[in-house]
Each structure stands twice: as C-alpha cells, then as structure tokens.
Amino acid sequence: MNPEKNEPIMMKGSEIVIECLKRQGVNLVFAYPGGAAIDLHQALIGSGIRVILPRHEQGGAFAADGFARVSGRVGVCMATSGPGATNLLTGIADCYSDSIPVVFITGQVGSSMIGKNAFQEIDIIGMTRPIIKHSYLVFDANDLPQIINEAFELAASGRPGPVVIDLPKNVQQQLCTPNFETHKMIGGKIPPPADSADIEAIRTAIAGSNKPCIYFGGGIISSGASAELRTFMESYHIPAVSSLLGVGAIPYEHPLYLTWLGMHGATFANYAANECDLLLTFGARFDDRVTGNPQTFATTAKIVHVDIDHSEINKNKFADIGIVADIKEILAELNKKPLHREYTNWFAQISEWRQMFPMTFEDKTATIQPQKVVQMLSTLTNGDAVIVTGVGQHQMFAAQYYNFKFPRQLLTSGGLGSMGFGLPAAMGAKSACPDKMVINIDGDGSFQMNIQELGTVQMEELPIKMVILNNQHLGMVAQWEDRFYGGRRGNTVLKNPLADRPYPDFATIARGYGIPAREVYTLDELEPALKEMLDSPGSFLLDIHTGYEEHVLPMIPAGKDYKATISR
C-alpha cells in the first residue's frame, strides 16, 4: 500500500522478483544481462543487492555454486534467454550432481513469441528438466511471490539442488499489485522423523558386528551433521571413510578417520570399507568412483544405508537396512545410547593396512612435484584455507595432500567432474566468506576453460589466490593413456611445439587483467613464491611448472575392485 494515499502500490514483475529475493535474505547475485533480462538488471539498480558480473554465464553459474557450497545458503544466478540460458547448463548440471542449492533465473522472449523460434528463444525448461529439482515458466507476475518462495524452499529442503525460473519479458514488464503475504509452504518431500525401530535396527546391527566401518558422503555436510558424526564415531569407536564430497566433515588428523576412498582414495580406506562386516552408509550414494563395480564392493558386509533421498536406497547397492531420513536426526538419536567397543583385532588389521599402503609418493628431490606443492601449501596455511579445485590430476592431489579440517573447506566438482569449475567457484566462495583465505588449485587445462573470469576477480576486487599446477597436458587423460593406451597421445598435449617456453604465458595474461603473478620453475623458488602469494593483500596467480610425469596414485582402474589397485 502507498502509505500517503492508502493506495495499492503497482510494481513491475522484474521489481517483484528483486523484492522477493530481498525478502529471502539474498544480498548477492551473479548475473549477466541481455535483451530478455534487461528489466531484471534495471530493477537491481539501487536495490541493495550486490551484483557480480561474470565474464561468461557458465562462470556465473559456477560462482553461485561455489557461494552455496561454502556458505550453505541458496545461491542465485541470472542470465538472459537463448545462449545466455544455455551457457548455464553445465553449471546447473553440476549443482544437480552434487546436491547444491542454487536458484537460476533466466529471461525469456515474450509469452506470445514462445514456440515461434523467436530471436534468442530457447526451451530452457525442457532442456533442464533432467538436471533440476523443479522449474517454473511464469506467465503472470501476480504468481511471482509464491513461485520464488517455493523455488528457494525446494532448492534448500530435503536433498538440495537447483531450481530454474524462466521469466518471459512481458511478465517482467507486467504491472500488478503483488501480495507478498500469500506464500504457502509447500512442504516438499521431507522425510519423517527418525523412527525408533530404525534406530534399534542400526544399534542391533552394530552390536552384532566385529568389523564395522562408517562410509559417509556429502549428505553429512549438507545436513550440518559433522558434529553428530564425530560424536558417533568416538562414542561407538568405529572407523570411518568418506566420499570425496564428504571431505572436511571430519578432520584428516582424527585417528578414527581413514580419509576418502575410491578410485584415487587411500588404499587402506578401500580395504577397510571392502573387508568390514558392517558398512554404515550415511548420506552417501555408492557412486561408481567409490565402488568400482558395485557387485564386487563390500561383498561380505551387511549394509545400512541412511539417505534423505528415497531414490538412492537400493539404486546402486542393495541395503540390508535402508532408511529414508535426515542423517543428523538419526545420528542424534544413536548418540543417546552409545555402544562403545574396542574392536581390538579390527583396529590392528586397519593399522597393518596403513603401514602396508601409506598415502605417500616417491620424493624426486630435484623437481617440483604437484604433491609437494599441495603439502607445502597446507603447511604454510596451517590447513586453514578454503580449497577450490578444477577437475583433473590437480584435483586429486589437492584432496590427497591438503590437511582438511572443517566442513565446506574443499569445494570441488565431484559428480559431474566439470573442468573450468575452479576459478569461478573460488569467486563465489570468496564472495560468501570474505574473511577466509580462498585458494584455487587448478590445472592449466581446467584453468583455461574459464580464464576470462580473471576480469571478474580484478573488477570485483576478490582477493583469491590461484595456483596453477602446470604440466602442459590434460593430465588425467594423459595418465590413462600412459596406463591403458600404450602412452599414445590423443590430443592431450597443450604445449605449443613451436614455442621455446610453456604455453600460454599465464603470468602475462594475469598481469594483463591487473593481477600480480609469478612463475615457478625450480624447487628452490617454490616456498618463497608460495609465501609471496599468501602474503599479498589482493589476488595473486602462481604458475608452477611441474612437468607431466607424475601420476595420481593409488589408482583403481574403472570397473575394477580394490584388489586391482595400482600403487606405482
């Protein structure tokens, strides 16, 4: 109402959108303008919401993803119609694969033009249907308050994920009197409270076990259950392994945590998960990068599977006890009556595996190895930095050799494996947590996929530290070529054969964007260069030339089991 004239206030649809975002507590959006989104950007002017302009819509999508991962809040990304919307697809799919809550708002051609192949028209609703929790094509601005509130509720509730809102231009320009008070909670598919029978079933399974093992995933972090999990591990005295997305829920140095398992996980973690007699699976989904062939994974174990998404139960691996619930509630109930046992023989066996299969590498004293870079970075930062990776060998080295301590500390594209994720996701993380050190550990191939976001880093004054482990190759694929294809290079070499130095010159490119940078070629230069980067007040790029000889080990070949592990 207009307080002076006691008249209803008329607002454009675009203005209603921005007001709804403010009422959701949104203070930052990643948005790229265009003809079908111009009204949204006009409405953002003077709204109090900070707009970060990426240099590519995919960069904006990954930035919103990184914002949501590190903060636990719903990220917001906007783009225009047509190519603006299609450029979001990889980012939307990444959020879907890793259960990240982001609301994507796209402009669309006018309602009367939909279906007529109008300029920059695209059916983004149809395109995104397999990779979202829900989507809305809005035809009446009066519906916007309900739709936007629903979108945020859906994105954050249950198993988090992306939601798309498609806004035709005429709806953005439509004048109406919005009713912001009519929102009804839709009460999505929220699992019922922890059932006492389920709790007793788990406790009975534990009581009958001599070799129990916990396998937890990103659901622990999404549900905020890290403290409950730690209490459970300690009070029941049960060792734990995690998926890659579970990293950080329990500190690496915790004596009961065997770190992460799977294709490039610790061998002793793989042995523990596969040779236990009870696998307590909490907020994990038996991903193929964890199990290899699921038919040969944990074959002697009774399996308890607790997940908030009912579709995950029995999808990849049969569960003897399958429970749809919030893992935080389940653990809280289990912690009321701990069953502490010593499991002396079991821990002796795990200790033997640790000694037989340590997580280490051959130290080549005269060269810069990527493992050494990560170890030194961990030491110099005391393990306190938020680490954001691209995808490839550097991603695995970062997860293996950085000493992670807390939830939402490792931000990485797990399920989709999206190259180009690192730099823009680091932008989003730093925007959400300006007081934390944010370091993008990337590869030269992955970094180039969204290298244009250096412009955003500089213009938005985001003091991100960027470490490129530069081996002039698409390292992970080259590793597979070395191991399984006789070393033949099928378009995995990135260096310029005509150049007398590594290509491209990342340091010069960074300086072109106004970002300080340095190259590192020798081991003697490494520590001083890392310290210079960490001590710099703003953003800084460090291009570290590592060579391409190092392989990520251990490695379980795709589809094989833990006994086929390659260790050298």
The secondary element (H helix, E strand) that includes residue 540 is strand 540-545
- Among 207, 199, 234, 208, which Cα is nearest to 327's? 199
Exposure on the CB side of residue 256, measured as CA atoms within 13 A: 21
C-alpha–C-alpha distance, residues 244 and 391, integer Å:
12
Residue 3 has pLDDT above 70, yes or no: no
- The confidence score (pLDDT) of residue 7 equals 64
- The confidence score (pLDDT) of residue 4 equals 57
How does residue 134 score in pLDDT terms, banded at 50, 70 and 90?
very high
How does residue 346 score in pLDDT terms, banded at 50, 70 and 90?
very high
Q: What is the dihedral of CA 270, 409, 362, 529, to 10 degrees?
A: 170
- In the sheet that holds 134-137, the strands lie side by side as 50-52, 28-31, 75-79, 102-108, 163-168, 134-137
Task: State the DSSP string of 380-445.
Answer: HTTT-SEEEE-SSHHHHHHHHHS---STT-EE---SS--TT-HHHHHHHHHHH-TTS-EEEEEEHH
Q: pLDDT per residue over 356-391, tens digit each?
A: 999 999 999 888 999 999 999 999 999 999 999 999
pTM of the model: 0.96
Residue 400 has pLDDT above 60, yes or no: yes
DSSP state of 168: E
Beta-bridge partners for 31: 78
Structure tokens that stand for 306 in this block: 């607790």
Peptide bond into 554 cis (omega under 30): yes
Q: pLDDT per residue over 77-104, tens digit each?
A: 999 999 999 999 999 999 999 999 999 9
Task: Check: CB of residue 316 under 8 Å from CB of residue 215.
Answer: no
Task: Check: CB of residue 373 under 8 Å from CB of residue 362.
Answer: no
Structure tokens that stand for 393 in this block: 């060998």
C-alpha–C-alpha distance, residues 423 and 425, integer Å:
6
- The confidence score (pLDDT) of residue 238 equals 98
Q: How many other C-beta atoms lie within 10 A of the C-beta of residue 339?
A: 16
C-alpha–C-alpha distance, residues 483 and 500, integer Å:
29
C-alpha angle with apex 409: 404 to 415, nearest 5 degrees? 105
Reduced to 3 states (helix: H, G, I; strand: E, B; else coil), residue 365 is coil
Residue 494 has pLDDT above 70, yes or no: yes
Residue 527 has pLDDT above 90, yes or no: yes
Cβ-count burial 528-551 (b if 16+ within 10 Å, e if not)? ebbeebbeeeebbbbbbbbebebb
C-beta pairs of 522-529 under 8 Å, 24+ apart in sequence: 522/368, 523/365, 523/366, 523/367, 523/368, 523/372, 526/368, 526/372, 526/373, 526/376, 527/376, 527/380
DSSP state of 264: T
Map out the domains of the chain with their CATH numbers: 11-176 (3.40.50.970), 196-356 (3.40.50.1220), 370-545 (3.40.50.970)
How does residue 184 score in pLDDT terms, banded at 50, 70 and 90?
low
Backbone angles phi, psi at 322, to 5 degrees: -110, 125
- The confidence score (pLDDT) of residue 158 equals 94
- The confidence score (pLDDT) of residue 193 equals 82
Residue 542 has pLDDT above 70, yes or no: yes
- Among 350, 340, 209, which Cα is nearest to 273's? 350
Q: pLDDT per residue over 214-260, tens digit each?
A: 999 999 999 999 999 999 999 999 999 999 999 999 999 999 999 99
Reduced to 3 states (helix: H, G, I; strand: E, B; else coil), residue 192 is coil
Residue type, 228: E
C-alpha–C-alpha distance, residues 435 and 151, integer Å:
29
Structure tokens that stand for 317 in this block: 């691996």
DSSP state of 473: B
Structure tokens that stand for 108 in this block: 């669309």
Q: For 80-197, where are the E strands, in sequence order?
A: 102-108, 134-137, 163-168, 175-176
H-state helical runs in 108-143: 124-128
Residue 185 has pLDDT above 80, yes or no: no
- The confidence score (pLDDT) of residue 17 equals 98
If DSSP states are collapsed to H, E and C, what string results for 195-260?
CHHHHHHHHHHHHCCCCEEEEECHHHHHCCCHHHHHHHHHHHCCCEEECHHHCCCCCCCCCCEEEE
- Residue with token string 């959108």: 17
What's the mean pLDDT in 140-158? 96
Task: Determine how β-strand 302-307 pairs with β-strand 321-324.
Answer: parallel
Q: What share of the chain is helix, strand, coil (3-state, %, to 5)?
A: 40, 15, 45
Distances (CA, A) of 172 to 41, 103, 191, 243: 11, 17, 36, 43
Structure tokens that stand for 324 in this block: 């749809």
Active-site residue set: 57, 119-120, 169, 476
The helix/strand count (H/E) of the chain reads as: 23, 20
